Amino acid sequence: MKTILFIHCAGSQRSDDLVHYLKQSLSSEHNVAYPEMPNPEAPEYDQWVKQVEKELSFIDGEVILVGHSLGGAVLVKYLSEKSPPLPQVTGLYLIAPPFWGRDEEWQNEAFTITDPSTLPSIDRVVLYHSRSDHVVPSSHQTFYREIFPNAIIRTLNGNDHFFIGGLPELVADLKQGKS
């Protein structure tokens, strides 16, 4: 059984519906770890990264990382800054993540990736973003494409950000991918 570590978005809504859909759709194929991140209403990178490290310490073997919105941004920054003794990361799936530091409206030094060249090699990176996302502009997908040039890009029609009804493309990618 493969382990998915799912890091949720910021705010009170978290990613509960999306994770519930994922767990139902993957049934017994994957173990989905879904920790509650500290203070999601006013997230701080240092607190979130400590929780990510704690969760990774419980995982033996391979891990698939899934980050939704801020959760995705935290995972990428964490991977760029740390050389921890991680389980092997076999996939990185980013759902509508903000890219801090490029757009005027998206400035937060704590969440900004300082050196993307230090990112580890990950066999499978998939980016999901709604074309008219009402929370994080789809242009942020372009910024992630620059640091993950071999990423699979899934530009979705509509304006969804929270994917309350699920994200079938993610489930299909997890089932069909190497991860």
Residue 61, amino acid = G
Q: Is residue 179 pLDDT above 50, yes or no?
A: no
Which phi-psi region, left, alpha or beta, contains residue 152 (left: φ > 0; alpha: ψ -120 to 50)? beta
The 10s digit of each residue's pLDDT in 32-90 is 999 999 999 999 999 999 999 999 999 988 999 999 999 999 999 999 998 656 678 99
pLDDT tens digits, residue range 121-142? 898 999 999 999 999 999 999 9
Fold held by 2-176: Rossmann fold (3.40.50)
pLDDT, tens digit (0-9, with 9 covering 90-100), for 12-24: 878 999 999 999 9
State how far the Cα of 163 lies from the Cα of 17, in Å rounded to an integer.
8
